């Protein structure tokens, strides 16, 4: 390279180079991108669930490579971009037709992208870009992702014919051996990617400009702070930007986060106490606001009585725990299928009678479903209401079990006919306490109406139980005595919580 060329390149490299992750982050929020470049220490360390999602992503990527026979990897060092770019070019010059982690870089600004699979187009001059995603359907972020990749590869001089997203196929049913051809499906999004190229240039330009600023860009908090960025359920910097927002704020009492943004602008406050409900006809949770401002519990005695009158003794309070794996390992299971491994069952034969309790936890590293079904059917009797919290979960599991184990189908579907959803009185606001903070989750409802809570348990959520059990099934941990005790205690509280909440509902319905 001549000296004058070198100088030009260095000047241009002063332009901000963006990676694909930078671009996606910046689309969500330019301030998040600015923080990630300039104040990395603000970012919280990854939690266990996010780490586990990364691990699953790597596992899926490794399997996806088996789909493309004869592929070679461009580079191992994730951070050495120029080495990966050179390696990609070398592999192409050696006539390789499938390159994993192929990397391209735009000369004039250094922006770069690494594609999971670069494949020589069938019968054409040029290449296909294929990005592997660990989901079963397309998401808007996939299009953004591939649009940026396409931009970089084309600007770097590649002729790109097709862009495809590679997803897990949720119609695939595992038999006794993993069928890679069936596990994945390819979806062509070339047209949408090409149509979005002008927008990519515009966004990229804006992001590069905002990154040049010495101060973070001015961006208001709002709906974007909750948008999923690949693996994260909310923005990495929410703890920082939201530090002045109370735990219960206007964001909790509107039906859309966008409405919250408008109200906050209008009244210049995050406080629920500062909303005048008479100014808003739509988009707010009026009852929640009034209950909070007056510190009163709302009770619709008539509706509660109707709900109670539908109950038939004996009452079976039932709750399931499940886990899911992106890649199925049990026969008759699909990608991400919820596999039940545990249930808790409190039974009350007659009003005011003592409770009996039964629990099931599969402790072998094998498919829990058959034992789960048998135990469930044996213990749920033939009549009486089966009370669950958020019925679509247990009912869906029962339907899937009925589909996958047709020999038990009739009994399982009969259980569904007896289900009563205890969440309904809270969801439909037959009863509402300001302590619920606009949530119907049993984790919020239980402490709002009783002295009980999940706070003192070792396992505090279904998500925790799910990750622990998935780790056990994958052989990463053993189910020792403590873990068994913790899993049983957590699930038991879910059904005992329902017993206590129903007692409250009955009491309020009679007042």
221 vs 325, beta carbon nearer ligand SF4: 221
**Binding flags for ligand SF4, 189-218, as an x/- string (CB under 6 A):** ------------------------------
Q: How far is the CB of 445 from ligand SF4 (least distance, A)?
A: 28
At 239, list the tokens.
């703890």
235 vs 431 by CB, closer to ligand SF4:
235
Cα dihedral 188, 192, 195, 197 sign: negative
Give the distance, in angstroms, between the CA of residue 169 and the centroid of all CA atoms in the same chain. Answer: 18
Residue whose CB is less far from ligand SF4, 177 or 243: 243
* Widest pairwise Cα distance in the chain: 91
Sign of CA dihedral 233, 235, 236, 238: negative
User: How many Å apart are CA 204 and CA 229, to the nearest integer?
Assistant: 17
Stretch that binds ligand SF4, among 30-38, 116-124, 172-180, 464-472 (CB under 6 A): 30-38
Checking 133-139 for CB contacts under 8 A at 24+ apart, the result is 133/165, 133/166, 133/167, 134/53, 134/56, 134/57, 134/60, 134/168, 134/326, 135/167, 135/168, 136/167, 136/168, 136/169, 136/170, 136/335, 136/336, 137/167, 138/165, 138/167, 138/187, 138/189
Q: Which of 219, 267, 311, 329 binds ligand SF4 (CB under 6 A)?
A: 219
> How far apart are CB 257 and ligand SF4 at their closest, in Å?
11
Among 29, 207, 318, 505, binds ligand SF4 (CB under 6 A): 29
> Which window, 114-122, 219-227, 372-380, 483-491, contacts ligand SF4 (CB under 6 A)?
219-227
Task: Select 220 or 485, whichever has its Cβ closest to ligand SF4.
Answer: 220
Instruction: Tell the smallest beta-carbon distance from residue 245 to ligand SF4 (Å).
Output: 10
Structure tokens at 139: 């998401």
Evaluate whether 284 touches 249 at the Cβ level (below 8 Å). no
- Taking the least distance from each CB to ligand SF4, the nearer of 29 and 102 is 29
Nearest Cα to 415, choosing from 376, 374, 389? 376
Shortest Å distance, C-beta 269 to ligand SF4: 18
Whole-angstrom Cα distance, residue 24 to residue 26? 5
Q: Considering the complex, state which of residue 39 and residue 58 has its C-beta at the smaller distance from ligand SF4.
A: 39
Q: How far is the CB of 469 from ligand SF4 (least distance, A)?
A: 32
Neighbours of 345 (CB within 10 A): 21
In the bound state with ligand SF4, the residue whose beta carbon lies nearer, of 226 and 405, is: 226
3-class SS of residue 486? helix
What's the min distance (Å) between Cβ of 231 and ligand SF4?
A: 15
Least distance from ligand SF4 to the Cβ atom of residue 38, Å: 12
Q: How big is the site for ligand SF4, counted in residues (CB under 6 A)? A: 13
Site string for ligand SF4, 31-50 (x = CB under 6 A): xx--x---------------
Q: Tokens representing 257?
A: 């986060």
Return the number of the residue (81 or 241) whose C-beta is nearest ligand SF4: 241
Nearer to ligand SF4, 26 or 368 (CB): 26
Give least dist CB 438 to ligand SF4, A: 20
Smallest distance, ligand SF4 to C-beta of residue 220, A:
7
Q: Between 251 and 408, name the residue whose CB sits nearer to ligand SF4.
A: 251
218 CB contacts (<8 Å, ≥6 apart)?
31
Of the pair 232, 334, the CB lying nearest ligand SF4 is at 232
Q: What is the DSSP string of 408-423?
A: GHHHHHHHHHTEEETT
Q: Binding residue for ligand SF4 (CB under 6 A) from 221, 253, 315, 468?
A: 221
From residue 232 to residue 271, the character string flagging contacts with ligand SF4 as x (rule: CB under 6 A) and all else as - is ---x-xx--x------------------------------
Q: Least distance in Å: CB of 35 to ligand SF4?
A: 6
In angstroms, rounded to a whole number, what is the distance separating the alpha carbons of residues 398 and 343?
Answer: 12
Residue 376 near residue 388 (C-beta atoms within 8 A): no
Residue located via tokens 């053993």 = 478
Tokens of 227: 């948008």
Q: Token digits for 504?
A: 């409250």
Cα 117 to its chain centre, rounded Å, is 25
Judged by DSSP in three states, 371 sits in helix
Structure tokens at 180: 């890679």
Of 225, 250, 423, 473, the one binding ligand SF4 by CB under 6 A: 225
Query: Among the candidate windows 1-9, 74-82, 221-229, 438-446, which touches ligand SF4 by CB under 6 A?
Result: 221-229
Smallest gap from residue 265 Cβ to ligand SF4 (A): 15
| Nearer of residues 237 and 408 to ligand SF4, judged by Cβ | 237
**Comparing C-alpha atoms, which of 306, 315, 317, 349 is closest to residue 505?**
306
- Rounded to a whole number of angstroms, the minimum distance from the CB of residue 464 to ligand SF4 is 25
- 219/420 with CB nearer ligand SF4: 219
Look up residue 353 and give its DSSP letter. Answer: P
User: Using CB under 6 A as the criterion, which residues of the chain lie in contact with ligand SF4 when the complex forms?
Assistant: 28-29, 31-32, 35, 219, 221, 224-225, 235, 237-238, 241
């Amino acid at each position: 390279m001549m000296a004058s060329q070198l100088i030009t390149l260095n000047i241009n490299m002063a332009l901000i180079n963006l990676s694909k992750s930078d671009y996606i982050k910046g689309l969500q929020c330019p301030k998040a991108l600015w923080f990630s470049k300039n104040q990395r220490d603000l970012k919280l360390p990854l939690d266990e669930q996010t780490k586990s999602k990364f691990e699953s992503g790597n596992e899926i990527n490794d399997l996806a490579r088996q789909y493309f026979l004869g592929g070679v990897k461009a580079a191992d060092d994730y951070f050495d971009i120029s080495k990966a770019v050179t390696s990609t070019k070398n592999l192409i010059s050696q006539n390789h037709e499938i390159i994993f982690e192929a990397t391209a870089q735009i000369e004039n600004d250094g922006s770069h992208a690494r594609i999971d699979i670069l494949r020589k187009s069938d019968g054409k001059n040029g290449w296909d870009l294929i990005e592997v995603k660990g989901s079963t359907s397309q998401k808007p972020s996939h299009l953004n992702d591939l649009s940026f990749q396409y931009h970089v590869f084309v600007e770097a001089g590649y002729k790109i014919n097709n862009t495809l997203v590679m997803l897990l196929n949720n119609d695939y049913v595992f038999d006794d051996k993993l069928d890679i051809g069936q596990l994945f499906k390819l979806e062509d999004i070339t047209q949408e990617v090409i149509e979005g190229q002008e927008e990519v240039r515009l966004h990229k330009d804006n992001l590069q400009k905002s990154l040049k600023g010495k101060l973070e860009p001015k961006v208001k908090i709002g709906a974007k702070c909750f948008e999923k960025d690949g693996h994260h359920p909310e923005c990495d910097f929410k703890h920082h930007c939201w530090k002045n927002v109370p735990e219960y704020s206007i964001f909790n009492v509107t039906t859309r986060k966008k409405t919250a943004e408008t109200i906050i602008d209008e009244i210049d406050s995050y406080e629920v106490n500062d909303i005048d409900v008479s100014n808003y006809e739509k988009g707010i949770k009026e009852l929640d606001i009034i209950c909070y401002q007056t510190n009163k519990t709302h009770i619709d005695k008539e509706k509660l009585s109707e709900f109670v009158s539908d109950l038939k003794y004996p009452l079976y309070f039932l709750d399931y725990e499940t886990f899911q794996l992106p890649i199925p390992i049990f026969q008759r299971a699909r990608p991400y299928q919820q596999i039940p491994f545990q249930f808790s069952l409190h039974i009350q034969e007659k009003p005011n009678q003592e409770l009996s309790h039964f629990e099931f936890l599969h402790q072998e590293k094998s498919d829990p479903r058959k034992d789960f079904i048998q135990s469930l059917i044996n213990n749920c009797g033939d009549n009486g209401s089966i009370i669950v919290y958020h019925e679509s979960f247990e009912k869906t599991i029962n339907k899937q079990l009925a589909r996958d184990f047709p020999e038990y189908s009739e009994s399982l579907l009969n259980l569904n006919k007896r289900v009563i959803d205890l969440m309904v009185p809270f969801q439909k606001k037959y009863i509402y306490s300001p302590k619920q903070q606009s949530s119907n989750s049993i984790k919020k409802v239980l402490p709002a109406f009783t002295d009980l809570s999940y706070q003192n348990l070792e396992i505090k959520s279904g998500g925790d139980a799910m990750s622990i059990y998935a780790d056990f099934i994958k052989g990463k941990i053993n189910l020792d005595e403590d873990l068994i005790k913790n899993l049983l205690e957590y699930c038991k509280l879910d059904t005992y919580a329902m017993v206590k909440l129903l007692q409250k509902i009955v009491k309020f319905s009679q007042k």
